[in-house]
Chain A
Amino acid sequence: GDSVTQMEGPVTLSEEAFLTINCTYTATGYPSLFWYVQYPGEGLQLLLKATKADDKGSNKGFEATYRKETTSFHLEKGSVQVSDSAVYFCALSADTGGFKTIFGAGTRLFVKA
């Protein structure tokens, strides 16, 4: 079945460092891809999305490009802030999966001042 694999955390960075969180997927259909962020004690917030190959999703300085050839959707940010400390979930939704969202395991990011 469809699945999402993302790099294990935690990831610890200093403020203003460059962030990459790797995400790869397996899907039989044509999925849409998402990154969700979960701040401590809170729910899931959609960070960005991409619906087809070569689309780039972006929001709040975060970016991810839908790469069909490598089945990847890596999350990047050029300069992280302490306020970016959270858990980041890569996810997909496909019509072959009844449109349910399938999540990766999550990557916890700590940013130090």
Chain B
Amino acid sequence: EPEVTQTPSHQVTQMGQEVILRCVPISNHLYFYWYRQILGQKVEFLVSFYNNEISEKSEIFDDQFSVERPDGSNFTLKIRSTKLEDSAMYFCASTSLNLLANEQFFGPGTRLTVL
């Protein structure tokens, strides 16, 4: 069964450093998303991406964040200068609009720890 994959599973970085989180969505999906879950809290929407551009972003997704689909398979989230409060689990998701349920398929997540 096709699945969304994410790398790395755990990233540790120093405050102020840039990080890139990588995702490989399901191959025939058209919409891509990033979500964030701070430890013990709810899952929050960050950004959606369609047709090579951002279609929607939340207040969390400020100028320190960017997304890119550099090739036909990868979808990346970059944090330019990490802060302590960026420590969280980051989930990538993808969906095909052909699915009646609008169901999104989530990756296993990348745990980001900022020291």
Which A residues form the contact surface with B (CB < 8 A)?
Answer: 32, 34, 36, 42-44, 46, 49, 51, 89, 91, 93-95, 98-106
Task: Answer whether A44 and B43 are a contact pair too, CB < 8 Å, given A100-B56, A101-B93.
Answer: yes
Among B41, B48, B91, the residue within 8 A (CB) of A98 is B48
- Interface contact B106-A93, CB-CB below 8 Å: no
- Interface contact B102-A93, CB-CB below 8 Å: yes
Which B residues form the contact surface with A (CB < 8 A)?
Answer: 31, 33, 35, 41-45, 48, 55-56, 89, 91, 93, 95, 97, 100-104, 106-109
A43 to B31, CA, bound (A): 20
A91 to B44, CA, bound (A): 11
Chain A residue with the shortest CB-CB distance to B45: A100
Task: Return the 6 tightest CB-CB contacts between A and B, nearest first.
Answer: A43-B108, A93-B102, A103-B43, A98-B56, A43-B109, A44-B106
- Interface contact B42-A32, CB-CB below 8 Å: no
Task: Answer whether A49 and B103 are a contact pair too, CB < 8 Å, given A43-B109, A44-B91, A101-B35.
Answer: yes
Residues of B within 8 A of A42 (CB): 108
Among B33, B41, B45, B107, the residue within 8 A (CB) of A43 is B107
- Interface contact B31-A105, CB-CB below 8 Å: no
Task: Answer whether A98 and B43 are a contact pair too, CB < 8 Å, given A49-B101, A49-B103, A93-B103.
Answer: no
Among B97, B107, B108, the residue within 8 A (CB) of A99 is B97
